[in-house]
Structure 1
């Protein structure tokens, strides 16, 4: 099996049309010369007697119809040169997609605008997968249109919290910017609770914070060496809440990169408050990257080191 077949872009397919996600994923596959793999998760239901009327084979038939419809659309966007495959997964949607795409180049999902109440009640597959997957996860807004009028400069935006813990996130963002021929716009935000802003923050301290953060971020970018070579980088320090600044920046970007939360404990949701706040509001596709280096086939570098006794 070739590397492109082993390490495809994976797209999660539901029952609704996902043209935005398919277009993004196909473009990503073409840039990297890899395959595109579509997955549909089929969960066994135990909802009561009425579920007996719909058999598992009926549900699998409907799932395969959804996959076939998505496959036809994906082929239009992908072309004939690259591998396109599809698969039914079994189990709860989030866990099935995470485990089934553990060795993917990235996982791509589409998210739709939901009312606040519905979002709280159901959460979203995108946030669930992004919180648990260790490979990059991209959530594409259903309203995203790559053919719409674009800004004069192609831009990838990355949000940075703590500069000296952001090497991997900056690496992912630089790779994305280079593959697209885009500018990398690095945004570092900071703010204090409202009651303290006027008491504590002076213009001088604001400037000092910005200068310090700029220097730290540029040092990390320089440490990437060849991985960031050829990429024009613009660093901005913004005195504002992170979600507000990143959502605003997404309106002028073709991709927003945000790090998942660097977890204190190795279990539970690792999405983080900023990523969760931005996920459903961004105007462009958002890539959620793990802050820890991931080796080939999705293994975390620190896990390998522990197994080796390092």
Structure 2
């Protein structure tokens, strides 16, 4: 491991630096570190290269040299954002990306990764890393699309709510993100009938009753946060649709989409959940997998 010393004891923002350009994730992580006044840790994982005749085209020294160069480039990009106001720490670890980032997350406030639109395979690989990290840690994990830029205009944070009375953690995370950005908060809930009946027509009056009930439950959950301003100003949108469809459409103009994920109860990790996995695969804005509720 190569690490520059840092005297700050504040939990850092950790950004995963891969072999390709990660400027979108680096910029996002640097902005988060500035807002929090905490260090920014740039973490790169290099594979363990077995020594022998079959590895003549690549050596451990060559791999580590490339890793250092990737970190140096990311550090330059980060300094362009933070301008020395927070420490930028370069960390080189040997090992697979997910275990390396999970270890780094133990002392972090946030983990940021970048996912790419080069090909479907590339998207799958990068988002699998984000999901793998989120499945093993309780800190928030953010996946930032390559070349993503804020859409302009008034900033918006979108949060998906499934079961309102069990959404305190994801609502608190989203309201906090909206506050530090000076953004509006858009709360999205989708409802549908059980699978065997979802194609059936129901009366407009019945659909409105479902919508009104869901809206009341969400407003009650917002009130339970104890933040009157958030509860009053939140834009609550309830619609009949699949959850993934509603979240993707409502976040098309967002600066951040916040969704919940399953609690990683098992020592070997847990699935992040089908909605979180689908949103990571398809969303066009940064996606935060919020820290889950701790279940007993």
- Aligned residues of 2:138 and 2:264 also touching (Cα < 8 A): no
Structure 2 match to 1:89: 93
Equivalent residue in structure 2 for 1:131, among 130, 135, 138: 135
Secondary structure of residue in 1 paired with 2:90 = strand
Does residue 102 (structure 1) correspond to residue 106 (structure 2)? The answer is yes
Structure 2 match to 1:24: 28
Report how far residue 4 of structure 1 moved.
5.3
Report how far residue 127 of structure 1 moved.
2.5
- Aligned residues of 2:23 and 2:147 also touching (Cα < 8 A): no
Judging changes above 3 Å, is the alpha-carbon distance between structure 1 residues 65 and 16 closer, same or farther for their aligned structure 2 residues?
same
- Aligned residues of 2:135 and 2:264 also touching (Cα < 8 A): no
Does residue 215 (structure 1) correspond to residue 216 (structure 2)? The answer is yes
Does residue 50 (structure 1) correspond to residue 59 (structure 2)? The answer is no
Structure 1 match to 2:239: 238
Pairing 1:135-284 to 2, within 5 Å after superposition: 135-146=139-150, 149-151=151-153, 153-192=154-193, 196-199=197-200, 201-226=202-227, 232-262=233-263, 267-284=268-285
Report how far residue 121 of structure 1 moved.
7.3
> Aligned partners of 1:30, 1:227: CA distance in 2, in Å?
27
Secondary structure of residue in 1 paired with 2:71 = helix
Judging changes above 3 Å, is the alpha-carbon distance between structure 1 residues 78 and 48 closer, same or farther for their aligned structure 2 residues?
same
What is the CA deviation profile of residues 222-241 of structure 1, one whole-angstrom value per residue up to 9, with x for unaligned ones? 11114965982111111111
Secondary structure of residue in 1 paired with 2:106 = coil
Secondary structure of residue in 2 paired with 1:6 = coil
Report how far residue 203 of structure 1 moved.
2.4
What is the CA deviation profile of residues 149-174 of structure 1, one whole-angstrom value per residue up to 9, with x for unaligned ones? 523x3210000111111100101001
Report how far residue 47 of structure 1 moved.
9.9
Judging changes above 3 Å, is the alpha-carbon distance between structure 1 residues 122 and 180 closer, same or farther for their aligned structure 2 residues?
closer
- Aligned residues of 1:40 and 1:88 also touching (Cα < 8 A): yes
> Aligned partners of 2:225, 2:8: CA distance in 1, in Å?
25
Structure 2 match to 1:297: none
Aligned length: 292
Q: Which runs of 5+ in 1 are unaligned?
A: 294-301
Structure 1 match to 2:289: 288
Judging changes above 3 Å, is the alpha-carbon distance between structure 1 residues 3 and 201 closer, same or farther for their aligned structure 2 residues?
farther
Secondary structure of residue in 1 paired with 2:236 = strand
- Aligned residues of 1:178 and 1:231 also touching (Cα < 8 A): no
Equivalent residue in structure 1 for 2:71, among 59, 67, 73: 67
- Aligned residues of 2:222 and 2:231 also touching (Cα < 8 A): no
> Aligned partners of 1:106, 1:84: CA distance in 2, in Å?
15
Judging changes above 3 Å, is the alpha-carbon distance between structure 1 residues 85 and 121 closer, same or farther for their aligned structure 2 residues?
closer
What is the CA deviation profile of residues 58-101 of structure 1, one whole-angstrom value per residue up to 9, with x for unaligned ones? 21111111111111111011111111111112221101111122
Judging changes above 3 Å, is the alpha-carbon distance between structure 1 residues 138 and 119 closer, same or farther for their aligned structure 2 residues?
closer
Report how far residue 36 of structure 1 moved.
0.7
What is the CA deviation profile of residues 227-265 of structure 1, one whole-angstrom value per residue up to 9, with x for unaligned ones? 965982111111111111111122111110011124686
> Aligned partners of 2:293, 2:227: CA distance in 1, in Å?
19
Report how far residue 194 of structure 1 moved.
6.2
TM (norm. structure 1) is: 0.85
Please identify, of 113-122 and 168-177, the stretch whose mean Cα deviation from structure 2 is larger: 113-122
Secondary structure of residue in 2 paired with 1:280 = helix
Report how far residue 112 of structure 1 moved.
0.2
